Amino acid sequence: MDLGEGLRKALAKLSGATIIDAKTIREFSKELQKAMLSADVEVGLVFEFTKRIEDAALKEKMPKGVSPKDYITNMVYEQLVAMMGRGYAPEVKPKKILLAGMYGSGKTTTAAKLAKFYQDRGFSAGVICCDVTRPAAYEQLETLAKQANVSFFGIKGESDASKIAREGLVRLKDRKVIICDSSGRSALDDELIEELKGINKVFNPDEKFLVITADIGQIAGKQASEFDRAIGINGVIVTRLDGSGRGGGALSAVSAAKAQIAFIGTGEKLNSLELYDSKKFVGRLLGIPDLEGLIESVQNAVKEANIKPEDMENAELNFETFYTQLKAMNKMGPIKNMLGMMGMADVPKETLDNSETKLKKYGNIISSMTKEERRDEKLVREGNRIKRIAAGSGTTEKDVRELLNDFNKMKKFANMFKNNRDLRRNLSKFMPKM
């Protein structure tokens, strides 16, 4: 059970409570402790946190018209935000960034994600491979840089990281944002510290970020303190927050170590990097919808897929436009992340996996259709087209018929929505303009 699931289950038990008494609060406190300890939140932080909840719940008077569950949920939300830290929002401007961290922390992927993050915001970006110890680090960063459409520099076989950094600055001098990926180790030893200090002196970064994984839990705080003492860091980037039950442990530990979290990685895709906002993160943990984040994610996906929103708004729904929508959804990352932004975090894993598989299958089927078939779905049912499409997409005829049936249902709903002005008007009140 991850932290969010544990917290939501604890809060769900308050749904039937009509009063908040000492017994109810003590039982709720135990559930909170269980959820947080299983997520590897440091013991001292857990007991400080639950004591503040208990004291506030028993001493403060609950406002009239507010349900006990909503009252306690708001209290838990505020205390969690305080515990997870406010975060560090770096200025989006020209800069040089040095990434440091242990083996397996995701530095190389993060370097490409970070370069793409700034390039998407109008700043030409480049990456320098100063990882001189890990085999294939050069090839990995070069490949990721191509995928992110950013510049790359490295010297294959060179063991002097400082020399690579120095030449990289010359070669990438026309880039507005330059990111340096450094070597990792299994521990922060003297050799790594000296190597990082050498790069730091030559590269002279504006920002230094420690990259850690969410699954290391409370050890994250120790790492943040050690790297800060060694080279001084501006902030921390936490990776693999998409599926780690220990994410809360890592974030709270970093905050307790007085380090600031700058970015979080929420998936494998290069656009799965976002500025850390503890309010949004805690909101997702508790199942509170993040419509602002969802809309921003949709807008970025539409932009990346080269889709003009006005064209989609007036376009007829057929397999061609549906395929375009599928490609945009794929740019948004895992369905789990999207549902979390919608406040639907407890959808069963089996359902999520089935949905991911089905969407991928549907994309393959549509890609095997002719242009005429995509524009007129009725053609698909003619002759041996279903058999041909199934063979071409590596699926079965049953899969193709399932897509046809699901698509017809979707089209009926789309037409109903299009023709129902009142429904559109009411929905638009809650959605900011794209």
Neighbours of 197 (CB within 10 A): 13
The Cα 100–Cα 209 span in angstroms is 6
Residues 6+ apart with CB under 8 A from 29: 50, 53, 54
277 φ/ψ angles, rounded to the nearest 5 degrees: -135, 110
The Cα 105–Cα 216 span in angstroms is 10
Strands of the sheet containing 261-265, edge to edge, are 151-153, 125-130, 177-182, 95-100, 207-213, 235-239, 261-265, 273-275
In the prediction, which pLDDT does 346 show? 58
The Cα 199–Cα 363 span in angstroms is 45
Q: What letters, b where the CB count within 10 A reaches 16 and e where it falls short, cover 171-184?
A: ebeebebbbbbbbb
The Cα 195–Cα 200 span in angstroms is 9
In the prediction, which pLDDT does 429 show? 46
Q: Are 278 and 84 in contact (CB under 8 A)?
A: yes
Closest C-alpha among 434, 428, 323 to residue 373: 323
The Cα 26–Cα 12 span in angstroms is 15
In the prediction, which pLDDT does 156 show? 94
Q: Are strands 95-100 and 177-182 parallel, antiparallel or unpaired?
A: parallel
Beta pairing partners, 152: 127
In the prediction, which pLDDT does 423 show? 46
Closest C-alpha among 327, 217, 333, 343 to residue 266: 333
Dihedral sign for Cα atoms in the order 148, 182, 169, 237: positive
Number of residues that this document lists for the chain: 434
The Cα 294–Cα 284 span in angstroms is 11
Closest C-alpha among 236, 5, 277 to residue 106: 236
Give me the tens of pLDDT residue by residue for the chain, a chain 434 residues long: 678 888 888 888 887 667 778 888 888 999 999 999 998 999 999 999 999 998 888 887 777 777 778 888 888 988 999 899 877 778 889 999 999 999 999 999 999 999 999 999 999 999 999 999 998 999 999 999 999 999 999 999 999 999 999 999 999 999 999 999 999 999 999 999 999 999 999 999 999 999 999 999 899 999 999 999 999 999 999 999 875 566 888 999 998 888 999 999 988 889 889 899 888 888 888 877 655 555 555 556 556 656 555 555 555 778 877 777 776 666 666 666 666 555 556 555 676 667 778 888 888 999 899 989 988 888 988 888 999 999 999 999 999 998 888 888 777 766 665 565 654 455 454 444 43
Q: Are 171 and 179 in contact (CB under 8 A)?
A: no
In the chain the domains, ranked by start, together with CATH numbers, are 3-83 (1.20.120.140), 95-285 (3.40.50.300), 291-428 (1.10.260.30)
Dihedral sign for Cα atoms in the order 245, 248, 251, 254: negative
Q: Are 372 and 319 in contact (CB under 8 A)?
A: no
Q: Are 111 and 265 in contact (CB under 8 A)?
A: no
The Cα 411–Cα 234 span in angstroms is 50
In the prediction, which pLDDT does 205 show? 97
Q: Are strands 273-275 and 125-130 parallel, antiparallel or unpaired?
A: unpaired
Q: Are strands 273-275 and 235-239 parallel, antiparallel or unpaired?
A: unpaired
Backbone angle region of 356, left / alpha / beta, with phi > 0 → left and psi within -120 to 50 → alpha: alpha
Beta pairing partners, 239: 213
In the prediction, which pLDDT does 425 show? 55
In the prediction, which pLDDT does 19 show? 74
